[in-house]
């Protein structure tokens, strides 16, 4: 399996400005709200537990986390949100999958179309690009933060059921079946491994090379899409 080019909308971890922090909190709150619809108890709701862990990574206030959970559970009135997925083509025919949460799908669709038109991309028909990706659980660890040697972590991950491994700079990405993600993550943590992040992702079967001009245009497109309040995650098959 090839690696993947994943642009988190939630990508600022240190020294973030208040404006960026507010946007991050808003996006995380939406994730928590959606997850809480499947149950407000994080011990029995892995999706909610993952969203809360992400919120805590960014020091999101507990009262805001609790409010999002209550809204998702229907205990507090609020906007009606839904999850959306858009498939797009970027510069150089790079395949892109956008995951979002919105209170108005038609408005968000219109905004995405405008961004794509401006930045050299276009919307694709539903299902026309998704076959190029595979849904996987992805665990990221920073090798520099670990007490164990990289090769020992690799062997441990494989023993626990990892489907694939890939290095990106100082990070090791561990690919799992989605249903095994949390179990493998927990077992790695029990072995003293510090996890940077873990979540289900769209992983491309193959990455593609494009010209430097198209690569820079794609990066600009990703950053512009990331500024949209509804967009949560951006995945592509661009080889960086």
What's the CA gap between 30 and 69, in Å, rounded? 10
At 22, the pLDDT band (50, 70, 90 cuts) reads confident
**20 vs 140 pLDDT, higher one:** 140
The model's pLDDT over 95-135, given as tens digits with 9 standing for 90+, comes to: 999 999 999 999 999 999 999 999 999 999 999 999 999 99
Burial of residue 141 (number of CB atoms within 10 Å: 0-12, 13-18, 19+): buried
Q: Are residues 142 and 199 in the same domain?
A: yes
Model confidence at 18, pLDDT cuts 50, 70, 90, reads: low
Q: pLDDT tens across 29-59, in order?
A: 999 999 999 999 999 998 999 999 989 988 8
pLDDT digits (tens, 9 = 90+) for 179-188: 999 999 999 9
Q: What are phi and psi of 209, to 5 degrees?
A: -90, 140
67 and 109 together in one domain: no
Q: Answer yes or no: are the C-beta atoms of 40 and 8 closer than 8 Å.
A: no
164 and 186 in a single domain? The answer is yes
> Higher-confidence residue: 11 or 207?
207
Is this prediction's pTM over 0.85?
A: yes
pLDDT at 7 over 50: no
- Report residue 11's pLDDT band, with 50, 70 and 90 as the boundaries: very low
Same domain, 196 and 92: no
> Considering its fold, how many domains does the chain have in total?
3
Shared domain for 41 and 148, answered yes or no, is no
- Does 68 lie in the same domain as 27? yes
Residue that finishes a domain, picked among 72, 92, 118: 72
The answer on 60 and 34 residing in a single domain is yes
Residue 67 has pLDDT above 70, yes or no: yes
- Are the CB atoms for 232 and 27 separated by under 8 Å? yes
Q: Is residue 35 part of a domain?
A: yes
- Asked if 198 contacts 137 with a C-beta cutoff of 8 angstroms, the reply is yes
Share of the chain above pLDDT 90, in %: 79
Whether 226 maps to a domain, the answer reads: yes
Q: Residue 12 above 80 pLDDT?
A: no
Torsion angle of C-alpha atoms 9, 10, 14, 20, degrees rounded to 10:
70
CB 73 within 8 A of CB 66: no
77 part of a folded domain: no
Average pLDDT, the chain: 90
Indicate if the pLDDT at residue 231 is higher than 50: yes
Q: Could you list the residue range(s) of the whole structural domain that residue 182 is in?
A: 134-204
| For residue 226, pLDDT beyond 60 | yes
Are 127 and 144 within one domain? no
Name every residue whose Cβ is closer than 8 Å to that of residue 22 and which is 6 or more positions away in sequence.
none
Residue-wise over 95-116: b if at least 16 C-beta within 10 A, else e? bbbbbbbbeeeeebbebbeebb
- Whether residue 9 is predicted with pLDDT greater than 50 in this model: the reply is no
The model's confidence at residue 154, banded by pLDDT at 50, 70 and 90, is very high
Q: In this predicted model, which residue has the larger pLDDT, 168 or 231?
A: 231
CATH number for the domain harbouring residue 154: 3.30.70.980
- 126 lies in some domain: yes
Q: How far apart are CA 55 and CA 108, in angstroms?
A: 24
For residue 72, the SS3 value is: helix
Task: Note the pLDDT of residue 19.
Answer: 67
Give domain status of residue 26, yes or no: yes
Clarify whether residues 11 and 52 are in a common domain.
Answer: yes
CATH of the domain at 18: 1.10.10.200
């Amino acid at each position: 399996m090839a690696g993947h080019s994943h642009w988190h909308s939630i990508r600022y971890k240190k020294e973030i400005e208040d404006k960026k922090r507010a946007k991050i909190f808003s996006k995380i709150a939406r994730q928590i709200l959606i997850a809480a619809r499947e149950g407000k108890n994080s011990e029995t709701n892995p999706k909610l537990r993952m969203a809360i862990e992400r919120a805590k990574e960014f020091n999101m206030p507990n009262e805001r986390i609790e409010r999002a959970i209550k809204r998702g559970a229907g205990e507090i009135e609020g906007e009606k949100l839904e999850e959306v997925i858009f498939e797009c083509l970027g510069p150089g025919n790079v395949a892109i999958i956008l995951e979002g949460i919105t209170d108005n799908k038609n408005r968000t669709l219109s905004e995405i179309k405008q961004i794509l038109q401006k930045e050299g991309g276009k919307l694709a028909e539903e299902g026309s690009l998704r076959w190029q990706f595979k849904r996987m659980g992805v665990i990221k660890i920073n090798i520099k933060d670990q007490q164990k040697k990289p090769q020992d972590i690799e062997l441990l991950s494989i023993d626990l059921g990892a489907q694939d491994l890939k290095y990106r700079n100082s990070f090791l990405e561990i690919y799992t079946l989605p249903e095994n993600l949390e179990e493998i993550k927990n077992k790695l943590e029990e072995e003293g491994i510090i996890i940077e992040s873990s979540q289900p992702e769209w992983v491309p079967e193959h990455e593609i090379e494009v010209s430097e001009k198209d690569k820079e245009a794609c990066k600009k497109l990703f950053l512009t899409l990331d500024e949209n309040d509804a967009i949560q995650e951006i995945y592509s098959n661009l080889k960086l």
